[in-house]
Each structure stands twice: as structure tokens, then as C-alpha cells.
Amino acid sequence: MNQDPDESFLKELFARFLENRCSEEEIILLMEYAEKEEYREIFSEMINRVATEDHPAEEDLYAMHKEVIDGVAARITPPVPVRKEKTHRWLPYQVAAAVAFLLLAGGGWRWYSRSSSTSQVAKHTLAPAPANDAAPAGKKAILILANGASVTLDSVASGLLTQQGQTQIIQSAGGSLLYSSAAGAAAEPLYNSIITPRGGQYQVTLSDGTKVWLNAASTLRFPAAFTGAQRQVTLTGEAYFEVAKNADKPFLVTVNNLRVTVLGTSFNIMAYEDEAAVNTTLLDGAVKVTEGNNATLLQPGEQAQLGRQGNIRVMKHADLNAVMAWKNRLFWFEQDDIHTVMRQLSREYNIAVEIRGNIQRHFTGSIPRDVNVSTVLEVLEKTGGVHFTMNNGKIIVTP
């Protein structure tokens, strides 16, 4: 490259790439520009524009995505036809091409856009996973009532499910649970539990209006109605909370020996047993994190990490995009090793993983969760240094 390009040149070259009109030399040139820090803002704007445009639902975006990645990675013309139209539109092929561009343009780029426009891809309806594949997590959970009875929430119709004391339990048409408490609730709390399996997620609105989103392989235990001086729940796994404000009745989350106390705020707790620490991340408001005699007050954007030895470490500037990725239906990796990556995939897809050999590769990027596991593995494998094989419902990982 003998001279710096202007913005109009980059836009024209990128448009040619999206329309499958770039030569091999032009693709290589475009990738070289994309890796330069001074052009990141221009490329981000162009990519986000593609991702935010509507595109026809009947197109198989993921099949296109695969063909574009295969084609461009090999520096050949992708074999996906582009329809000719009189009016300018961003075609599904172009969205897939933009995705491939992010993957190929270097480690500093996201595989998918960071912005909320990623949901345009995530909204695509997937066909059932074929044999030797696994579908993404769906709205699956089991509700355990105070009397020990269980309800499989993903197999019951919407409407009133049952009543606990003066609290009605209602299943919404969209697949979430609502606890509606009337005045004069029972003095003795009636405890319920929601359990999400591996490969499942669920959302519940508690009787005080607090909203909780449960990630896969998680359990929330809570009273059907909050009757005491505190609103206390117990969590294992991972959940995001939007706590209804009530200055007279603090909200308390217990995770093993850790307690998180709030009045009204938004925060995420990740407390999986196979992770190295319990992470409490504050998005809005204020929370107090207590373990034994140690108490830490968090400010928005901070994360308290409780290690296995009982020590609390505070990160002043947590990566909120990474923390909230699961709720936004994304995998989000920041120099993560293969073990960290595969733990997330195992929970999301309810699939066993076996890692063979010493894999040094670290991963940075984000991928929508609403795709079959084979698609995620393909994207990861394209980065090099790691290979995946599906065998009898297990992912075998090798260098």
C-alpha cells in the first residue's frame, strides 16, 4: 500500500466485497486496511449498517454464512448468487459476507458486531439440529412448588398454572413466569425453585416485581411472596437481576457463603461450580458483596470476584459486554483459552466435551448463540490451531 486511502475508497471497496465483485488482490488489500487501527471506526460503521438493515426471512443466512467464510478464507469467489434488484437493498448474502469479513480481518475484530444490531442475525429461525449436532439453548425450566410438585414449564400452556397461598403463578405466552401476589399473603413463606437444565434458559418476575433471567444449568430458590423484613433468594449457576426498588425491604441474594445485598439495582451473578470464581457485576445502582467478615461496596461497572480461597478481588472496569453476552444471546470471548470456551458451549448445548492434547490457542470474538453448535465450532476452527469432531453426542477437541 503506497498511500493512505480516503473514506470513499474504503466504502467502495467494501461495497464491492459485499456484492461479490472483489478480485483476490482486492480482498487481501481490504483485509490489510481493516487491521489498521486508524480505519476501525470507518469499518465498524459500514458493518453495523449492514447488520441493522432488514433482510428477507426466507433466506438461509447461516448456509450463506458458511459458504462465504469457506470461499473468502480460501481466497476464491464465494459460490452464493446475488439477486439483481432495481432498488438498493442489503441482501442476506451481504450480511453473511460482513460476518465473514470480521472473521478474516484479524484478531482485533469481532466475529459479529458488538452492537444490538446483532439481534438481526439472532432472530433468524433455525431448523431442528440435524443428527450429530446440537441446537442452541431454548426456554426450558422446571418449577418446583412448595409441596414438592414439579411443573415442566416448556411443556405447559400459557395462563394460570397454580396458586401458592395468595400468590398466582402465571405462565406468559412468550415463555416466562410471573408471580402475582395479592394483599394479605401468607405469613409463612412458601418456597419455590426454578431449575434450568443445560441447554435451557428462563425468565421469572417475582412477586415484588423483580425480574430474573436464569442462564443454563442454574437454580433460583425464592418465596412465592416476600413476607419478612428482607427479600431473600438463593442462586446457583448464573442469573441477571433487575431488582424492584423497596428501601424498606432490602433484596438479598445468597450464593454459598456469598451474600449480595441491594435496594434496587441491576446486576449479574455468575456462580458455576466449574468456574474459578463467583463474579458479581454491577450495571446500575449499588450492591454490597459480603463473604464472612469481608464486605465490599460495588459501584456501577465494577465486578467483585470471589475466589475459591474466600478472597474478594474488585475489578474497577469490568467488561460489561462480556458479562451480559449470555443474556443478549451471544458467546463473548476475550483471550479465553479452549477450556473456558468449551465450558460455555457445554452448558449452552447440553453436550459433553473432551479436550485432547495441549491447545495453546486463545480466542477473542463474539458469536450469536442462536445457531447450532456445528456453526460455532466451524467459526472457531477457522481461526486455526484447533479442530473439532462430533462423536456420539460428544465434542472431541484436538490441536
Provide mean pLDDT across the span 171-177: 88
pLDDT at 310: 80
Helix pair 24-34, 40-52: axis angle to 10 deg: 110
Q: What is the mean pLDDT of residues 205-225?
A: 96
| Section 257-285 average pLDDT | 93
Q: What is the mean pLDDT of residues 25-40?
A: 73
* In the chain, domain spans: 7-122, 138-322, 329-398
| CA gap 33, 228 in Å, rounded | 61
**What is the average pLDDT score of the chain?**
78
Report d(CA 237, CA 219) in Å as an integer. 6
Percent pLDDT > 90 in the chain is 45
Whether the pLDDT of residue 306 is over 60: the answer is yes
Same fold, 138-322 and 329-398: no
Q: How far is CA 261 from CA 122, 228, 273, in A?
A: 34, 15, 21
Q: Report residue 131's pLDDT band, with 50, 70 and 90 as the boundaries.
A: low
> pLDDT at residue 228 above 70?
yes
pLDDT band with cut points at 50, 70 and 90 for residue 124: very low
Residues 6 or more apart in contact with residue 126 via CB below 8 angstroms: 62, 135, 136, 370, 371, 372
275, pLDDT greater than 60: yes
Instruction: Assess whether pLDDT exceeds 70 at residue 346.
Output: yes
The pLDDT, as a whole number, for residue 361 is 85
Average pLDDT over residues 188-214: 94
Instruction: Write down the pLDDT at residue 134.
Output: 84
Mean pLDDT of 162-184: 87
Average pLDDT over residues 43-69: 51
51-69: average pLDDT = 44
**3-state SS string over 322-376?**
HHHCCCCCEEEEEEEEHHHHHHHHHHHHCCEEEECCCCCCEEEEEEECCCCHHHH
pLDDT band at 87 (very low <50, low <70, confident <90, very high): very low
In this prediction, residues 123-150 reach a mean pLDDT of: 75
Quote the distance between the C-alpha of residue 146 and its chain's center. 31
Of 36 and 68, which is predicted with more confidence? 36
- Residue 184, pLDDT score: 59
The total of other beta-carbon atoms located within 10 Å of residue 55's CB is 20
Q: What is the pLDDT of residue 215?
A: 96
Taking residues 375-388, what's their average pLDDT? 87
- What does the pLDDT read at residue 353? 96
Within 8 A by CB and 6+ apart from 355, the residues are 338, 339, 342, 397
Using alpha carbons, select from 55, 53, 219, 240 the residue that is nearest to residue 143. 219
Cα dist from 176 to 42, 127, 190, 274, whole Å:
40, 23, 20, 27
Number of residues assigned to the chain: 399
Beta carbons of 269 and 278 less than 8 angstroms apart:
yes
pLDDT at 49 exceeding the cut of 70: no
Residue 185 has pLDDT above 80, yes or no: no
Using 50, 70 and 90 to split pLDDT, how confident is the model at 162?
very high
Q: Which fold has domain 329-398?
A: Phage tail protein beta-alpha-beta fold (3.55.50)
pLDDT of residue 368: 85
Strand partners, 138: 200
Is the pLDDT confidence value at 292 over 80?
yes
pLDDT level of residue 35 (50, 70, 90 thresholds)? low
Range scoring the smallest mean pLDDT among 28-32, 46-50, 94-98: 94-98
Q: Over 90: is that where the pLDDT of 195 sits?
A: yes
Contacts for 309 with CB less than 8 Å, ≥ 6 apart: none
* DSSP-H helix ranges across the chain: 7-18, 24-34, 40-52, 61-73, 92-104, 119-122, 320-324, 338-349, 373-382
Q: State in words which class domain 138-322 has.
A: mainly beta
Residue 307 contacts residue 277 (beta carbons within 8 Å): yes
